[in-house]
Structure 1
Amino acid sequence: MAAAHSFSPFSLLVLARLSASIVAFLVLTWALYFKTSFYRHSSFPQEEDLIYAVLHPLLMVIGFILISGEAILVHRWLPGSRNLKKSVHLCLQGLALACGIFGIWTKFHSRDGVVANFYSLHSWMGIICVSLFGAQVRAFMSYDARILRECCQWLMGFLSFWHRGEVRMTRIRILPWHVFLGLYTYGLAVATAETGLLEKLTFLQTNGAVQKRCTESMIVNGMGLSLALLSGMVIFAAVLPKYQTPHSKSVYSSNKLHS
């Protein structure tokens, strides 16, 4: 616990953002500079198929993983009110979910169809990951709507004390599960990306399109290492205890006495 408190959250956030920037740079370089590696069914690929093939890693890595990781950091360390943190967190998670759904759609939109792209561990993990993520966002929105209804009832004067206590108890029961599922889904998304990188690079090397020791292989392997480093820092930042000021401690103690 002392080691965690001695670690500077600001340094951790800087390292996390730096790792995310490296991942974004590597995936952009790979997708845009080596884009012909993404479609090798024929010697003359259609431009539309190339666009969809390139969009898949961009949307899933930058749009889904990096934005959802930023949503976790924002909810934990963004200065400001609790409502502001929740609003920014939910907006970023919604954007990440949209990118994930569209990223999967681009993969299934090719002329091979859905079944041809739904055979590997990577594809199965991707479907499970996006489904869990969507359920998380949907549950979070429903939870907020329930609290809003209860608060309206409280403001109207009906059972004010009991509704206020129910909101607090509901939040206490749901929050640990929301945090666990959020971190689990984020880790699963990174693992899914790693399997996708391995699958793609193995396919290219087996067909002789890419050498084992070349620039593209180094970029893909570097992206995998950067994603692993980023996920560790994001999860660590999510569970790292916050510094408590004397004022926050007194408020926390007061809330315990009243609960």
Structure 2
Amino acid sequence: MAVELNARPLTFVAHALAIAGAIMVLVWNISYRGGLAWEATNKNLIFNLHPVLMLIGFIIMGGEAIISYKALPLKKPVKKLIHLILHAIALILGSWGISAAFKNHNEAGIANLYSLHSWIGIGVIVLYGLQWLYGFVVFFYPGGSSTLRSDSLPLHALVGLFVYILAVGNATLGFLEKLTFLESSGLDKYGSEAFLVNFTAIITVLFGAFVVLTAIAKPASSDDDNYSYSAI
């Protein structure tokens, strides 16, 4: 039985948090960090793409993909397609965000893959990609048998939620890592930028929490084929 929470109001809060988080990470990287660029003499501008793409592209779009399957009062085939497309966008933008970090490190002469954040990040993007590919093949095209889809759905939902929670946790670890580097380089620990980064991380955690709550809540419609995380 589904947890006695209504998905729709939880979704509204999640959307509001998503907008707040997107604005905050853009303000941080454009107003405080100097802007965004794929090619630049100042290699920091290349790195600035990383937190923007990972939060807006990976965390927020990934969360919206999960929310869409539970909260939208649409027929199952439509929700399935929206769910699939949003996850694909999240995966593409997340991969681009990771590429920006590697590009920055390579061009600035910084070592790659030395931190816990980077290790977990690679693991998360690989698991996310495998999860999307499995969902595409089994639930979309060419599609498994009805028995395979029915048997796979609870595990697919559980693994997807686990990977998403891991992604949110690693995003906060990334904020901490970057802020620690900045403060070690002289950034005021009690300045406006430090507070902005910390509050952006808090908003990220809250958004992730409301995505999970939406996932385990009662669906917005009475469609018996709803993606039921709460049945796991």
Please state which band the TM-score falls in when normalised by the shorter chain. Answer: 0.7 to 0.9
Distance in structure 2 (CA, Å) of the matches to 1:87 and 1:136: 15
Q: CA RMSD for the aligned pairs?
A: 2.5
Q: TM-score, normalised by structure 1?
A: 0.78
Distance in structure 1 (CA, Å) of the matches to 2:105 and 2:196: 28
> Equivalent residue for 2:90?
96
Q: Tell me, which stretches of 5 or more residues in structure 2 are unaligned?
A: 226-232
Distance in structure 2 (CA, Å) of the matches to 1:168 and 1:229: 36
Shift of 1:79: 1.7
> Equivalent residue for 1:9?
7
- Secondary structure of 2:104's counterpart equals coil
CA deviations over 1:117-145 (Å, ceiling 9, x no partner): 21000000110000000001111111122
Q: TM-score, normalised by structure 2?
A: 0.87
Q: Which amino acid aligns with 1:20?
A: A
> Equivalent residue for 1:127?
122
- Secondary structure of 2:163's counterpart equals helix
Larger Rg computed on CA atoms: 1
Report matched runs for 1:95-244 at 5 Å: 95-110=89-104, 112=106, 116-143=111-138, 144-147=140-143, 167-208=145-186, 210-242=187-219
> Equivalent residue for 2:24?
26
Q: Which amino acid aligns with 1:30?
A: W
Return closer, same or farther for 1:243/1:99 CA change in 2, 3 Å cut-off.
Answer: closer
Q: Tell me, which stretches of 5 or more residues in structure 1 are unaligned?
A: 39-44, 151-166, 252-259
Return closer, same or farther for 1:243/1:64 CA change in 2, 3 Å cut-off.
Answer: closer
Q: Which amino acid aligns with 1:195?
A: L
Report if aligned partners of 2:87, 2:132 keep a CA contact under 8 Å in 1: yes
Shift of 1:115: 7.5
Return closer, same or farther for 1:51/1:243 CA change in 2, 3 Å cut-off.
Answer: closer
Shift of 1:146: 3.7
Shift of 1:50: 3.4
Q: Which amino acid aligns with 2:141?
A: A
> Equivalent residue for 1:256?
none
Structure 1 consecutive aligned stretches of length 4 or more whose deviation exceeds 2 Å: 7-10, 110-115, 144-147, 241-245
Q: Percent identity?
A: 34
Counterpart pick for 2:71 among 72, 77, 80: 77
Structure whose residues are more often helix by fraction: 1
